[in-house]
Chains A and B, each alone.
Chain A
Amino acid sequence: MSAPVLSIRNLNIDYVGAEKNFHAVKDVSFDIAPGEFFGLAGESGCGKSTIAFAVSRLHRPPALIRTGSEIIVGGRDVLDLDTAELRSFRWREVAMVFQSAMNSLNPVLTIEDQFYDVLRAHTKISREEARARAAELLKLVDISPDRLKSYPHQCSGGMRQRIVIAICLALNPKLLIMDEPTTALDVVVQREILQRIDVLRKRLGFSVLFITHDLGLMVQVSDRIGIMLQGELVEVNDAATIYKSPQHPYTKRLWASMPRLHGEQIKPEASS
């Protein structure tokens, strides 16, 4: 097996507070293999986004990645990169899809500009070449190149999310982080987008870090899954195991409280 695309070791992240610090991520370690679809699940506020942000070092104060943490991508520790290295590392190696499709595109720039600025920041590319490349990327996600002239508000939510994915693929990153990329979308659209990602990663070979609190969905798409609880990674296993034979009591409880659409319904326990 080749070296992992992403290897997180003893990651500790605090949110510094005036009186007390909030320890949001506690000693988390996990690996993502090349081409792997890795799911990170857990309830709201358990620290999933905090990890995702740390990988691209997108945090702003008062977040603080504690000394001793390691985030290794492509053999080097992301936490050691200086500003220039960091800039070229971002997006080229790790691209990211954010939670809200509505808001992850800059409302005052055209779609083309938003392709262009990332291409120009990382490559020597002319405006025409960039346009051609953008059109090509849009085709990957089934969007007509006409859309390049549009502003984000002129596209529907699902379309915007697919545009973001296309922008993510612009530099052929090794890892795509998706932080709840579909919560704002309908189930039908959500499924469509995830299937597309699945197809693309198989074709282009990138890995995916997929963050959601929808366990059912996660089991459907992920190869391996990590379950988080209050900043700690309590269980990591392959998807089938997590579903069929969860180890951690918390994981078990999650399954127990998930109503089923088909087959036998879970027991309505006495409400507590």
Chain B
Amino acid sequence: MSQPILQLDTVSKIFGEGASQVYAARNVSLSLTPGRTLALVGESGSGKTTVARLIMREYHPDSGQLLFRNEALGKGDAKAIKAYRSAVQMVFQDPFASLNPTHTIRYHLDRPLKLHQKQLSGAERLASARELLERVKLDPDQLLAKFPHELSGGQRQRISIARALAVNPQVIVADEPTSMLDVSVRLGILNLLNDMKRELGLALLYITHDIATARFVAEDIMVMYAGQVVEWGAMESVLGNPQHPYTRLLLAAVPDPDRRFADTPPGSELDQIETIRRNAALPQPETLQVGENHFIRPMPA
């Protein structure tokens, strides 16, 4: 396995003060490796987006650090930050909000090229833009002059990916890139991400609450709950043998056409969730390795 390119080292992010303090991320550690996808799953509000934003340096960690190529990235180093920017890009959840409605597709692809590949001439940039569109399986002749509102959701999401690729990134963070898309186009995007990872050797962080799609794209998985990573490791190991009670609950709840609803009295899951929520606030015990490349942070007794 190759070296991780980007790491979070026990990073925490706290919002609010005093009583209303929220640990949006608590001692989160992860590493992204070229050519591999890490899936980050968890319920809404568990801190997934916060992790993404920490990686995108939109937030600065309250503790812990962000390592890029094994070097801690400070606040001030402009040059390092620029290099980081051109290496790490993001694809957003909502394809309708991630493109500026007042600019053409060409503008959206031109800007990153202009910013990060200054040596290119106008004509070269146009060529690159066409190339990018072809790479995401779109027709440049049709699309370059269009405005976002003239495109379908799937097309927009592809444009977002093309824009992210325009800077020649090594890491792509995709925050629920398909949750707003229809089932039938969803797969196309996931396949595209898989292709990119393979062909360009990208390190991918795939954030989702849909564990099924996570399984489809990722080699590794991390399960988050209330700002903490509760279980992580190789995909098949975690899915096949979930150890943490929350992971189990989550997996049990994922819709599965193969299993009809049993006549279990409802309510038990909610009680368990309550227990887990209460425990999440307690001091956390050490990490426990439960298999080869499979770890959990067990619930305190």
Asked if B56 is at the interface (CB within 8 A of a chain A CB), the reply is: no
Query: Which chain A residue lies CB-closest to B249?
Result: A188
Do B255 and A269 have beta carbons less than 8 Å apart?
no
Asked if A44 is at the interface (CB within 8 A of a chain B CB), the reply is: yes
Asked if B10 is at the interface (CB within 8 A of a chain A CB), the reply is: no
> Inside 8 A of A213's CB, which chain B residues have their CB?
182-183
> Inside 8 A of B239's CB, which chain A residues have their CB?
261-262
Do A220 and B257 have beta carbons less than 8 Å apart?
yes
**How far apart sit A193 and B252, CA to CA, in the bound complex (Å)?**
14
Asked if B44 is at the interface (CB within 8 A of a chain A CB), the reply is: yes
Stretch from B17-25, B164-172, B264-272 contacting the other chain: B264-272
Which of A190, A217, A253, A259 counts the most B-chain CB atoms under 10 A from its CB? A259
Do B212 and A142 have beta carbons less than 8 Å apart?
no
Query: Which chain B residue lies CB-closest to A254?
Result: B183
Asked if B186 is at the interface (CB within 8 A of a chain A CB), the reply is: yes
- Chain B residues bordering chain A, tally (CB within 8 A): 43
**Given A257-B187, A265-B215 in contact, is the A187-B257 Cβ separation under 8 Å?**
no
Enumerate B218-267 residues with CB–CB distance to A below 8 Å: 239, 249-261, 263-267
Stretch from A17-25, A107-115, A194-202 contacting the other chain: A194-202
Query: Which chain A residue lies CB-closest to B194?
Result: A268
**How far apart sit A265 and B183, CA to CA, in the bound complex (Å)?**
16
Asked if A3 is at the interface (CB within 8 A of a chain B CB), the reply is: no
> Inside 8 A of B211's CB, which chain A residues have their CB?
261
**Given A220-B261, A254-B183 in contact, is the A192-B266 Cβ separation under 8 Å?**
yes
Among A142, A216, A269, A271, contact of B256 (Cβ-Cβ < 8 Å): A216
Do B137 and A271 have beta carbons less than 8 Å apart?
yes
Do A262 and B209 have beta carbons less than 8 Å apart?
no
**Given A243-B257, A261-B211 in contact, is the A191-B269 Cβ separation under 8 Å?**
yes
Question: Shortest Cβ distance from A39 into chain B, in angstroms?
Answer: 12
> Inside 8 A of B189's CB, which chain A residues have their CB?
271
Flag A176-193 by CB within 8 Å of B: 1 or 0 each: 000000000011111111
**How far apart sit A6 and B258, CA to CA, in the bound complex (Å)?**
28
Asked if B273 is at the interface (CB within 8 A of a chain A CB), the reply is: yes
Do B256 and A220 have beta carbons less than 8 Å apart?
yes
Query: Which chain A residue lies CB-closest to B268?
Result: A192
> Inside 8 A of A189's CB, which chain B residues have their CB?
270, 273
> Inside 8 A of B258's CB, which chain A residues have their CB?
262-263
**How far apart sit A270 and B264, CA to CA, in the bound complex (Å)?**
41
Question: Shortest Cβ distance from A126 into chain B, in angstroms?
Answer: 32
Do B261 and A260 have beta carbons less than 8 Å apart?
no
Among A195, A253, A262, A271, contact of B195 (Cβ-Cβ < 8 Å): A271
Asked if B121 is at the interface (CB within 8 A of a chain A CB), the reply is: no
Do B251 and A261 have beta carbons less than 8 Å apart?
yes
Do B257 and A192 have beta carbons less than 8 Å apart?
no
Do A258 and B183 have beta carbons less than 8 Å apart?
yes
Nearest 8 interchain pairs by C-beta:
A271-B191, A217-B255, A259-B216, A216-B255, A219-B257, A186-B43, A257-B187, A191-B253
Known: A43-B182, A187-B254. 17 other contacts (CB 8 A): A44-B182, A187-B209, A192-B253, A199-B265, A215-B183, A215-B257, A219-B260, A220-B261, A243-B257, A253-B184, A254-B183, A259-B215, A261-B239, A262-B258, A266-B216, A269-B187, A269-B191
17 A-B residue pairs with CB within 8 Å: A44-B182, A186-B253, A188-B43, A188-B270, A189-B270, A192-B270, A196-B267, A199-B265, A215-B183, A216-B256, A216-B257, A220-B260, A259-B187, A261-B239, A263-B258, A268-B187, A268-B191
